[in-house]
Amino acid sequence: MEIICTRPTCPNPRNLFPDLDDPNTLKTSQQRYCTSCGMELILGGRYLPVQLLGQGGFGAAFLARDRYSARLQTCVVKQFLPSGDLDPKSLEKAQNLFEQEALVLEEIGREHKQIPDSFAYFPVVVASQDGKRQDQFFYLVQEYIDGEDLEQEQAHKGSYSEEEVLEVMAEVLGILSFIHQKNVLHRDIKPSNIMRDKNGRLYLLDFGAVKQVTAGAGQGTGRSTGIYSMGYAPPEQMQGAQVYPSTDLYALAATCLVLLTGKPTDELFDAYNNCWEWRSHAPQVSDRLANILDTMLNPIPRDRFQSARDVLQAFSQETSPPPPQSAPTQAPPSQTSPHATTSQNPNPVTSPPPSVASGGGGGQFPTTQPTQNPPTSTPPSPSPSPVQTGSTYSLMEFLGGAAFTGFEGAMLHIALSSLLGSVNPVSVGLLGMSLGGLIYAQYRRWIEKFDLIIIGGVSWLLVAFIPFLSGNAGIETLIATMGLPNFVGVLFIGVLAGAVVVAIATLFRLVYQMLSQIL
C-alpha cells in the first residue's frame, strides 16, 4: 500500500508498504513513518492518506482510507496549513476558525443530507525535520462525495439551461435555509464548492470559510475574516465588514451567472460602472429569473433578499410586492471600488422555507419535499425584498435609449403636426402619451437592442416617404433651407433630436450622481 506524507516540506512524500496490503496487518499495524522526513503517516492512528486532492491558502486536502472501517471507507482529510508567515495572533485566529469548522460541521453534517459529515478532528505534534522544534498540524476528516463539482461539470457540458440553474438554486437555497437557521454562514459559495454525486444529488462543500454568527455586541464574530473567492464575494465581505445571510445569496447569484453564461465573473462584472452586465450573455433567461438574480446581486446588503426563504417566495409570486418603505438604521458609506459598498445594518437570519428540493435531478422550483423537519419555533422573517420589474441599465443602454426616444419624438412630432395641420394641444397630448409608452416599454424591456433600430428605421421610412410633410410647411421650409432631399432631411432632424436628448440625459445623470454623493 502506498501512503502519502502530509508534511508540506517533505522532499519525497510517497511511501510504499507492501505488508499493509494484508487486511489483518493493516488493522493491527503500529504507526508508520515517512522514509524521507519521519512524519507520522497513519493520521490519528487510523486514516491513511493515499492521494493529494489539492491545496490552497489555508490548507491541503487528501483522499484517505479509514483502516478501522469494514471496507476501508474513503474519506477526505483536510490539513490546516496557513500560507505565509502569520504572526501568533493571526495564527491563533486561523486555528480557531479551523477548529470551529469542525464543530459546526459535526452538528450540521449529521442533520442535513446535502452537507458532508464530519468524522474527526485532531492535532498531530511531530518533531521538525531539523529536530530543533515541535511542529503542530491540525486535521479534519470529512465524508467523501464521489462525483463532480459544478466547475468540472460545466467544463465538459458548457452553459446551463435556465431549468438546470433553477434546479441548482432550489437545492442550494434549501441548504442555505438550513444553515442560516443554525446561525451559520458559508461565505465561499462558488461552482467548485457545489458537488453533484453519482446519483445526481447536490452537496454544498468546503465549509472552510464557515463562520457562526452570534448576536453578542462587540464580539465581531459576524465580520468577514478575509476568506472568500474573488468575483463571488459581495462588497461587504471583501472589505472585511459585517456579513449576513444575503452575503451567501450574492455569491449564489454570481455562481448562477457563471453557470448560465459559461463565462467567468470578471467578464460579467463591469468594473468601470460597478455593476453586473450579464444579460446579453444569457438572452434566453426569463425576466423573472433575471430580476431575482439582479436583486440578489445588489451591492448594498439591505437591498437584496434577506433570506433564502425570501428568494423562494419571490419565485412563487406572479407579481412583485412593492418596495419596503422602512429606512435602515445606518446608511452605508459611498462606494470606493467596484466591489466596495459596506452596510452596517445587520439582518436577522430567517427560518428555512416550508418546501425546498432535497435531492438532485428535479427541475421544479420549489418542490414539495422538505430537506429536513422544520424547527419547533422560528424567528420572524423580514418582509421579502422587492423583485425589480425593470433591470439595471448600463451606460450604453441608457444613452442608446435616450437617443431612440429623441429620434422617435422627432418622427412623431413631424407626423402628428402634419396630419393635424399644426402644433396644438391634441398633437402635444398624443406626442406625450406616445413617448411615455415608448419609455415604459424600454423600462420593461419589451423593446431593446435591435428592436430600437428596427422601430426607428420603420418610423423614418413612414415619415420620409409617405406625404406627411405636405401639411407641415415649417418642416418643408426647414429641410429646403438645408438643401437636402426630404428623406435625408427627416433623418437629419431625427438624429439631431436624438443627440439633444442624449445631451440632456447625460447632464441629468451627472447631476443626479453628484447629488447622490452629497446627500
366 cis-preceded (ω within 30 degrees of 0): yes
Cβ contact 292:173 at 8 Å = no
At residue 259, the 3 state secondary structure works out as helix
Cβ contact 232:265 at 8 Å = yes
Lowest mean pLDDT among 356-365, 453-462, 492-501: 356-365
Lowest mean pLDDT among 108-117, 371-380, 442-451, 487-496: 371-380
Per-domain residue ranges for the chain?
A: 2-143, 147-316, 395-518
Q: Do domains 2-143 and 147-316 have the same CATH topology?
A: no
Domain 147-316 has CATH 1.10.510.10: yes
Residues contacting 187, CB < 8 A, separation 6+: 209, 210, 211, 224, 227, 228, 233, 237, 243, 247, 248, 251
> What's the average model confidence in pLDDT over 392-417?
78
Residue 11: per-residue pLDDT: 94
DSSP 65-109: EETTSTT--EEEEEEE---S---HHHHHHHHHHHHHHHHHHHHHH
Residues contacting 95, CB < 8 A, separation 6+: 80, 138
Lowest mean pLDDT among 105-119, 214-228, 416-430: 214-228
Q: 382 or 119: which carries more pLDDT confidence?
A: 119
Grid coordinates representing 443 are: 423600462
pLDDT digits (tens, 9 = 90+) for 101-118: 778 888 898 899 999 998
Characterise 442 by phi-psi region: left (phi > 0), alpha (psi -120 to 50), beta (else).
alpha
> What's the average model confidence in pLDDT over 417-429?
71
pLDDT digits (tens, 9 = 90+) for 166-213: 999 999 999 999 999 998 899 899 999 999 999 999 999 887 655 555
Give yes or no for residue 404 having a pLDDT over 60. yes
Residue 379: per-residue pLDDT: 41
Residue 163: per-residue pLDDT: 94
Q: Which helix (H) or strand (E) holds 288?
A: helix 287-296
Lowest mean pLDDT among 29-43, 90-104, 487-501: 90-104
pLDDT digits (tens, 9 = 90+) for 363-372: 344 433 333 3
Q: In which band, very low, low, confident or very high, does the pLDDT at 2 lie, cut at 50, 70 and 90? A: very high
pTM of the model: 0.59
From the list 188, 206, 248, 310, the catalytic residue is 188
Q: For 86, what's the count of Cα atoms within 13 Å in the CB-facing half-sphere?
A: 13
Residue 298: per-residue pLDDT: 94
Third-level CATH fold of 2-143: Phosphorylase Kinase; domain 1 (3.30.200)
Q: In which band, very low, low, confident or very high, does the pLDDT at 35 lie, cut at 50, 70 and 90? A: very high
Residue of 61, 22, 67, 26 whose CA lies nearest to 44: 67
Residue 125: per-residue pLDDT: 85
Lowest mean pLDDT among 134-148, 205-219, 354-368: 354-368
19 is an active site residue: no
Residue 466: per-residue pLDDT: 65
Q: In whole angstroms, what is the distance from residue 263 CA to residue 251 CA?
A: 15
* Average pLDDT value for the chain: 77
Q: 283 or 213: which carries more pLDDT confidence?
A: 283
Q: In whole angstroms, what is the distance from residue 439 CA to residue 327 CA?
A: 29
Q: In which band, very low, low, confident or very high, does the pLDDT at 223 lie, cut at 50, 70 and 90? A: low
Residue 392: per-residue pLDDT: 46
127 φ, ψ (degrees, to nearest 5): -70, 145
Residue 464: per-residue pLDDT: 72
Q: 129 or 337: which carries more pLDDT confidence?
A: 129
Grid coordinates representing 472 are: 407641415
Q: In whole angstroms, what is the distance from residue 190 CA to residue 470 CA?
A: 64
Q: In which band, very low, low, confident or very high, does the pLDDT at 50 lie, cut at 50, 70 and 90? A: very high
What is the percent of the chain with per-residue pLDDT over 90, rounded to a whole number? 36
The residue assigned the cell 418643408 is 476
